[in-house]
Amino acid sequence: LRWPLLLTDGCVLPRMLAYKLDNARPQLLVSAAVMCMEQAAISATPPWQHRLDEHREFLKTLFFAAFWGVTMIRVGLLGAHVWHRQRVFDFLAGSPWRKVLGNNGTGVHWQLLHLSHAFVTGVLCHILAVAPLYVLITSMQHSAVLLPLRVAADCAVFAWFHVYDWNDWLYRDHWVSHHDAADFLFLHGPHHDALPVSLMAAHDVGMLEGFLRFSVGHPEGFMSPMLTTPLRGVQVLADMVFHQYVPGVAPYSQAIVYYGHHHAEHHFLRLHPLGSGFDRSPDGVPTNTTEIDVRLAGYNPENKVWEWFCSEVARLEGHSWW
Protein backbone atom coordinates (compact mmCIF):
# COMPACT_ATOMS: atom_id res chain seq x y z
CA LEU A 1 0.00 0.00 0.00
CA ARG A 2 1.12 3.55 -0.73
CA TRP A 3 0.04 6.98 0.43
CA PRO A 4 -2.27 8.79 -2.01
CA LEU A 5 -0.40 10.75 -4.65
CA LEU A 6 -2.11 13.99 -3.62
CA LEU A 7 -0.54 13.64 -0.17
CA THR A 8 2.96 12.66 -1.26
CA ASP A 9 3.32 15.21 -4.05
CA GLY A 10 1.99 18.63 -3.18
CA CYS A 11 2.67 19.93 -6.69
CA VAL A 12 0.27 17.51 -8.40
CA LEU A 13 -2.65 19.87 -8.92
CA PRO A 14 -0.60 22.97 -9.85
CA ARG A 15 1.47 20.88 -12.27
CA MET A 16 -1.58 19.45 -14.02
CA LEU A 17 -3.09 22.91 -14.42
CA ALA A 18 0.26 24.30 -15.60
CA TYR A 19 0.44 21.61 -18.31
CA LYS A 20 -3.02 22.56 -19.54
CA LEU A 21 -2.27 26.29 -19.57
CA ASP A 22 1.12 25.78 -21.21
CA ASN A 23 -0.57 23.92 -24.08
CA ALA A 24 -3.19 26.65 -24.59
CA ARG A 25 -3.19 28.23 -28.04
CA PRO A 26 -3.84 31.88 -29.02
CA GLN A 27 -7.31 30.98 -30.26
CA LEU A 28 -8.36 30.46 -26.63
CA LEU A 29 -7.50 34.07 -25.76
CA VAL A 30 -9.08 35.40 -28.95
CA SER A 31 -12.29 33.49 -28.19
CA ALA A 32 -12.34 34.87 -24.63
CA ALA A 33 -11.73 38.38 -25.99
CA VAL A 34 -14.67 38.07 -28.42
CA MET A 35 -16.89 37.00 -25.53
CA CYS A 36 -15.78 40.01 -23.45
CA MET A 37 -16.41 42.32 -26.39
CA GLU A 38 -19.99 41.06 -26.62
CA GLN A 39 -20.51 41.66 -22.90
CA ALA A 40 -19.16 45.20 -23.26
CA ALA A 41 -21.34 45.88 -26.31
CA ILE A 42 -24.46 44.71 -24.47
CA SER A 43 -23.67 46.97 -21.52
CA ALA A 44 -23.04 49.93 -23.83
CA THR A 45 -26.31 49.58 -25.78
CA PRO A 46 -29.17 49.13 -23.28
CA PRO A 47 -31.82 50.56 -25.67
CA TRP A 48 -31.20 47.78 -28.20
CA GLN A 49 -33.56 44.81 -28.23
CA HIS A 50 -31.00 42.23 -27.11
CA ARG A 51 -33.74 39.95 -25.70
CA LEU A 52 -31.34 38.67 -23.06
CA ASP A 53 -33.84 36.69 -20.97
CA GLU A 54 -35.56 35.04 -23.94
CA HIS A 55 -32.21 34.21 -25.49
CA ARG A 56 -30.92 32.62 -22.28
CA GLU A 57 -34.06 30.53 -21.84
CA PHE A 58 -33.83 29.33 -25.45
CA LEU A 59 -30.16 28.40 -24.96
CA LYS A 60 -30.98 26.44 -21.80
CA THR A 61 -33.72 24.55 -23.67
CA LEU A 62 -31.32 23.85 -26.54
CA PHE A 63 -28.64 22.69 -24.07
CA PHE A 64 -30.88 20.14 -22.36
CA ALA A 65 -32.39 18.99 -25.65
CA ALA A 66 -28.91 18.25 -27.01
CA PHE A 67 -27.79 16.52 -23.82
CA TRP A 68 -30.86 14.34 -23.42
CA GLY A 69 -30.98 13.56 -27.12
CA VAL A 70 -27.44 12.18 -27.02
CA THR A 71 -28.15 10.38 -23.74
CA MET A 72 -31.22 8.64 -25.16
CA ILE A 73 -29.11 7.41 -28.08
CA ARG A 74 -26.55 6.18 -25.55
CA VAL A 75 -29.34 4.32 -23.70
CA GLY A 76 -30.36 2.65 -26.97
CA LEU A 77 -26.77 1.59 -27.59
CA LEU A 78 -26.59 0.20 -24.06
CA GLY A 79 -29.62 -1.93 -24.88
CA ALA A 80 -27.93 -3.18 -28.05
CA HIS A 81 -24.78 -4.10 -26.15
CA VAL A 82 -26.71 -5.86 -23.39
CA TRP A 83 -28.69 -7.81 -26.00
CA HIS A 84 -25.50 -8.82 -27.81
CA ARG A 85 -23.34 -9.01 -24.69
CA GLN A 86 -22.01 -12.49 -25.48
CA ARG A 87 -20.85 -11.27 -28.88
CA VAL A 88 -19.15 -8.31 -27.19
CA PHE A 89 -17.24 -10.40 -24.68
CA ASP A 90 -16.40 -13.18 -27.10
CA PHE A 91 -14.73 -10.60 -29.32
CA LEU A 92 -12.87 -8.97 -26.41
CA ALA A 93 -11.71 -12.40 -25.21
CA GLY A 94 -9.90 -12.76 -28.54
CA SER A 95 -8.39 -9.28 -28.37
CA PRO A 96 -5.64 -7.68 -26.24
CA TRP A 97 -8.42 -6.90 -23.73
CA ARG A 98 -8.34 -10.53 -22.55
CA LYS A 99 -5.40 -9.45 -20.34
CA VAL A 100 -7.66 -6.92 -18.63
CA LEU A 101 -10.84 -8.98 -18.35
CA GLY A 102 -9.36 -12.33 -17.32
CA ASN A 103 -12.26 -14.43 -16.06
CA ASN A 104 -14.39 -11.35 -15.33
CA GLY A 105 -16.01 -11.40 -18.76
CA THR A 106 -17.59 -14.84 -18.53
CA GLY A 107 -20.45 -14.46 -16.05
CA VAL A 108 -23.60 -12.52 -16.91
CA HIS A 109 -23.27 -10.38 -13.78
CA TRP A 110 -19.71 -9.37 -14.75
CA GLN A 111 -20.77 -8.59 -18.30
CA LEU A 112 -23.63 -6.38 -17.15
CA LEU A 113 -21.32 -4.66 -14.65
CA HIS A 114 -18.72 -3.87 -17.34
CA LEU A 115 -21.35 -2.55 -19.76
CA SER A 116 -23.01 -0.46 -17.04
CA HIS A 117 -19.63 0.94 -16.08
CA ALA A 118 -18.96 1.96 -19.69
CA PHE A 119 -22.40 3.62 -19.92
CA VAL A 120 -22.01 5.56 -16.65
CA THR A 121 -18.49 6.60 -17.65
CA GLY A 122 -19.81 8.03 -20.92
CA VAL A 123 -22.66 9.91 -19.25
CA LEU A 124 -20.43 11.42 -16.54
CA CYS A 125 -17.77 12.40 -19.09
CA HIS A 126 -20.48 14.06 -21.17
CA ILE A 127 -21.92 15.94 -18.17
CA LEU A 128 -18.58 17.34 -17.04
CA ALA A 129 -17.49 18.19 -20.59
CA VAL A 130 -20.58 20.37 -21.12
CA ALA A 131 -20.64 21.80 -17.58
CA PRO A 132 -18.51 24.84 -18.59
CA LEU A 133 -20.98 25.47 -21.42
CA TYR A 134 -23.90 25.54 -18.97
CA VAL A 135 -21.98 27.95 -16.72
CA LEU A 136 -21.42 30.18 -19.76
CA ILE A 137 -25.12 30.09 -20.66
CA THR A 138 -26.31 31.00 -17.17
CA SER A 139 -23.60 33.48 -16.09
CA MET A 140 -22.98 35.50 -19.26
CA GLN A 141 -25.33 37.71 -21.29
CA HIS A 142 -26.15 36.65 -24.84
CA SER A 143 -27.54 39.12 -27.35
CA ALA A 144 -29.96 38.14 -30.09
CA VAL A 145 -29.04 41.34 -31.99
CA LEU A 146 -25.30 40.62 -31.94
CA LEU A 147 -25.71 36.89 -32.56
CA PRO A 148 -24.82 36.92 -36.30
CA LEU A 149 -21.59 38.81 -35.65
CA ARG A 150 -20.72 36.63 -32.67
CA VAL A 151 -21.30 33.37 -34.54
CA ALA A 152 -19.32 34.58 -37.57
CA ALA A 153 -16.35 35.52 -35.37
CA ASP A 154 -16.54 32.25 -33.44
CA CYS A 155 -16.68 30.18 -36.64
CA ALA A 156 -13.53 31.91 -37.86
CA VAL A 157 -11.71 31.20 -34.58
CA PHE A 158 -12.92 27.59 -34.54
CA ALA A 159 -11.69 27.01 -38.10
CA TRP A 160 -8.36 28.65 -37.26
CA PHE A 161 -7.85 26.30 -34.32
CA HIS A 162 -9.20 23.15 -35.93
CA VAL A 163 -7.22 23.47 -39.16
CA TYR A 164 -3.89 24.72 -37.83
CA ASP A 165 -3.56 23.69 -34.17
CA TRP A 166 -6.02 21.01 -33.08
CA ASN A 167 -4.02 17.87 -33.88
CA ASP A 168 -0.80 19.35 -32.50
CA TRP A 169 -2.66 20.46 -29.36
CA LEU A 170 -4.22 17.01 -29.02
CA TYR A 171 -0.93 15.13 -29.45
CA ARG A 172 0.80 17.14 -26.73
CA ASP A 173 -2.14 16.99 -24.33
CA HIS A 174 -2.58 13.26 -24.91
CA TRP A 175 1.16 12.58 -24.53
CA VAL A 176 1.18 14.25 -21.11
CA SER A 177 -1.95 12.34 -20.12
CA HIS A 178 -0.12 9.04 -20.65
CA HIS A 179 3.25 10.05 -19.20
CA ASP A 180 2.27 11.96 -16.06
CA ALA A 181 0.95 9.61 -13.36
CA ALA A 182 -1.36 12.17 -11.75
CA ASP A 183 -2.79 13.30 -15.08
CA PHE A 184 -3.60 9.72 -16.03
CA LEU A 185 -5.04 8.77 -12.64
CA PHE A 186 -7.24 11.80 -12.11
CA LEU A 187 -7.98 13.08 -15.62
CA HIS A 188 -7.53 10.73 -18.57
CA GLY A 189 -7.47 7.27 -16.99
CA PRO A 190 -11.26 6.78 -16.64
CA HIS A 191 -11.51 6.94 -20.43
CA HIS A 192 -9.33 3.83 -20.62
CA ASP A 193 -10.83 1.97 -17.66
CA ALA A 194 -14.07 1.32 -19.54
CA LEU A 195 -14.65 -1.25 -22.29
CA PRO A 196 -13.66 -0.04 -25.79
CA VAL A 197 -17.23 0.52 -26.96
CA SER A 198 -19.29 3.56 -27.92
CA LEU A 199 -21.06 3.70 -24.54
CA MET A 200 -18.06 5.20 -22.76
CA ALA A 201 -17.15 7.89 -25.29
CA ALA A 202 -17.55 11.64 -24.91
CA HIS A 203 -14.92 13.94 -26.44
CA ASP A 204 -12.13 11.37 -25.92
CA VAL A 205 -11.77 12.43 -22.28
CA GLY A 206 -12.13 11.32 -18.69
CA MET A 207 -14.52 13.11 -16.36
CA LEU A 208 -12.41 15.92 -14.90
CA GLU A 209 -10.34 16.06 -18.06
CA GLY A 210 -13.39 17.10 -20.07
CA PHE A 211 -14.16 19.95 -17.68
CA LEU A 212 -10.60 21.27 -18.00
CA ARG A 213 -10.47 20.77 -21.78
CA PHE A 214 -13.43 23.05 -22.36
CA SER A 215 -12.40 25.53 -19.66
CA VAL A 216 -8.70 26.18 -20.39
CA GLY A 217 -8.05 24.09 -23.51
CA HIS A 218 -10.29 24.40 -26.55
CA PRO A 219 -11.49 27.85 -27.66
CA GLU A 220 -15.07 26.53 -27.85
CA GLY A 221 -15.21 27.08 -24.09
CA PHE A 222 -15.81 30.81 -24.67
CA MET A 223 -17.75 30.70 -27.93
CA SER A 224 -21.42 31.47 -28.42
CA PRO A 225 -23.60 28.73 -26.90
CA MET A 226 -25.82 28.98 -29.98
CA LEU A 227 -22.91 27.53 -31.94
CA THR A 228 -21.27 25.25 -29.39
CA THR A 229 -24.39 23.57 -27.99
CA PRO A 230 -25.32 21.69 -31.20
CA LEU A 231 -21.62 21.33 -32.02
CA ARG A 232 -20.97 19.48 -28.75
CA GLY A 233 -23.87 17.14 -29.42
CA VAL A 234 -22.56 16.26 -32.88
CA GLN A 235 -19.02 15.84 -31.52
CA VAL A 236 -20.16 13.40 -28.82
CA LEU A 237 -22.18 11.35 -31.30
CA ALA A 238 -19.20 11.20 -33.67
CA ASP A 239 -16.93 10.22 -30.79
CA MET A 240 -19.29 7.38 -29.92
CA VAL A 241 -19.24 6.10 -33.50
CA PHE A 242 -15.45 6.29 -33.65
CA HIS A 243 -15.07 4.43 -30.34
CA GLN A 244 -17.05 1.35 -31.33
CA TYR A 245 -14.16 -1.11 -31.28
CA VAL A 246 -16.33 -4.22 -30.97
CA PRO A 247 -17.58 -4.99 -34.51
CA GLY A 248 -21.04 -6.37 -35.13
CA VAL A 249 -22.84 -4.26 -32.52
CA ALA A 250 -24.45 -0.85 -33.10
CA PRO A 251 -23.23 1.72 -34.02
CA TYR A 252 -20.85 -0.70 -35.81
CA SER A 253 -17.22 -0.28 -36.81
CA GLN A 254 -17.25 0.23 -40.59
CA ALA A 255 -16.78 4.01 -40.31
CA ILE A 256 -13.59 3.38 -38.32
CA VAL A 257 -12.15 1.25 -41.10
CA TYR A 258 -13.38 3.55 -43.88
CA TYR A 259 -11.69 6.64 -42.41
CA GLY A 260 -8.74 4.64 -41.08
CA HIS A 261 -9.24 5.67 -37.44
CA HIS A 262 -6.16 4.11 -35.85
CA HIS A 263 -7.24 5.28 -32.40
CA ALA A 264 -8.67 1.76 -32.18
CA GLU A 265 -5.12 0.49 -31.58
CA HIS A 266 -4.75 2.91 -28.68
CA HIS A 267 -7.74 1.29 -26.95
CA PHE A 268 -6.29 -2.14 -27.60
CA LEU A 269 -3.52 -1.30 -25.12
CA ARG A 270 -1.00 0.41 -27.43
CA LEU A 271 0.37 3.89 -26.75
CA HIS A 272 0.27 5.26 -30.30
CA PRO A 273 -1.30 6.96 -32.09
CA LEU A 274 -1.67 9.93 -29.72
CA GLY A 275 -2.98 12.40 -32.31
CA SER A 276 -6.32 12.24 -34.09
CA GLY A 277 -5.28 8.89 -35.60
CA PHE A 278 -7.08 9.19 -38.97
CA ASP A 279 -5.79 8.12 -42.36
CA ARG A 280 -8.54 10.26 -43.91
CA SER A 281 -9.99 12.80 -41.52
CA PRO A 282 -13.82 13.00 -41.75
CA ASP A 283 -13.62 16.81 -41.73
CA GLY A 284 -11.28 16.81 -44.73
CA VAL A 285 -8.53 18.71 -42.89
CA PRO A 286 -5.21 17.25 -44.13
CA THR A 287 -3.36 18.05 -40.87
CA ASN A 288 -5.72 15.97 -38.72
CA THR A 289 -4.17 12.60 -39.61
CA THR A 290 -1.63 10.08 -38.35
CA GLU A 291 1.16 12.11 -39.95
CA ILE A 292 2.07 13.75 -36.62
CA ASP A 293 2.55 10.33 -34.97
CA VAL A 294 4.63 9.11 -37.91
CA ARG A 295 6.82 12.22 -37.76
CA LEU A 296 7.29 12.46 -34.00
CA ALA A 297 7.22 8.82 -32.89
CA GLY A 298 7.99 6.74 -35.98
CA TYR A 299 4.50 5.26 -35.82
CA ASN A 300 3.62 2.72 -38.52
CA PRO A 301 -0.10 2.87 -39.44
CA GLU A 302 0.07 -0.49 -41.23
CA ASN A 303 0.75 -2.59 -38.12
CA LYS A 304 -0.47 -5.98 -36.95
CA VAL A 305 -3.11 -4.66 -34.52
CA TRP A 306 -4.70 -2.48 -37.20
CA GLU A 307 -4.66 -5.27 -39.77
CA TRP A 308 -6.24 -7.66 -37.24
CA PHE A 309 -8.97 -5.15 -36.39
CA CYS A 310 -9.82 -4.50 -40.04
CA SER A 311 -10.03 -8.22 -40.73
CA GLU A 312 -12.36 -8.68 -37.75
CA VAL A 313 -14.63 -5.87 -38.96
CA ALA A 314 -14.79 -7.51 -42.40
CA ARG A 315 -15.52 -10.90 -40.83
CA LEU A 316 -18.22 -9.72 -38.43
CA GLU A 317 -19.85 -6.92 -40.45
CA GLY A 318 -19.31 -8.10 -44.01
CA HIS A 319 -18.77 -5.79 -46.95
CA SER A 320 -18.81 -2.09 -46.24
CA TRP A 321 -21.93 -0.12 -47.18
CA TRP A 322 -19.87 3.06 -47.59
Distance CA 68, CA 61 (A): 11
Confidence of residue 89 (pLDDT cuts 50, 70, 90): very high
In this predicted structure, the answer to whether residue 280 has a pLDDT above a threshold of 70 is: yes
pLDDT value for 60: 96
Residues of the chain with pLDDT > 90: what percent? Answer: 78
pLDDT value for 181: 84
DSSP letter assigned to residue 268: T
In this predicted structure, the answer to whether residue 322 has a pLDDT above a threshold of 70 is: no
Confidence of residue 289 (pLDDT cuts 50, 70, 90): very high
The answer to whether the CB of 137 falls within 8 A of the CB of 225 is yes
User: Quick one: average pLDDT of 258-280?
Assistant: 93
The answer to whether the CB of 203 falls within 8 A of the CB of 125 is yes
**Could you tell me how many residues make up the chain?**
322
Distance CA 195, CA 95 (A): 12
Distance CA 234, CA 231 (A): 5
pLDDT value for 15: 83
User: Quick one: average pLDDT of 124-132?
Assistant: 96
In this predicted structure, the answer to whether residue 17 has a pLDDT above a threshold of 90 is: no
The answer to whether the CB of 63 falls within 8 A of the CB of 227 is no
pLDDT value for 47: 85
Residues of the chain with pLDDT > 70: what percent? Answer: 95
pLDDT value for 105: 63
User: Quick one: average pLDDT of 8-13?
Assistant: 74
Confidence of residue 285 (pLDDT cuts 50, 70, 90): confident
User: Quick one: average pLDDT of 212-241?
Assistant: 94
pLDDT value for 2: 64
Cα radius of gyration rounded to whole Å, the chain: 21
pLDDT value for 321: 47
The answer to whether the CB of 102 falls within 8 A of the CB of 75 is no
The answer to whether the CB of 54 falls within 8 A of the CB of 144 is yes
User: Quick one: average pLDDT of 3-19?
Assistant: 75
Average confidence score pLDDT of the chain = 91
In this predicted structure, the answer to whether residue 141 has a pLDDT above a threshold of 50 is: yes
Handedness of CA 40, 44, 46, 51 (dihedral sign): negative
User: Quick one: average pLDDT of 172-198?
Assistant: 92
What per-residue string of b and e applies to 117-129 under the rule 16 or more CB within 10 Å gives b? bbbebbbbbbbbb
Mean pLDDT check: name the lowest of 66-75, 95-104, 305-314.
95-104
Within its chain, how far is the Cα of 155 from the centroid? Answer: 20
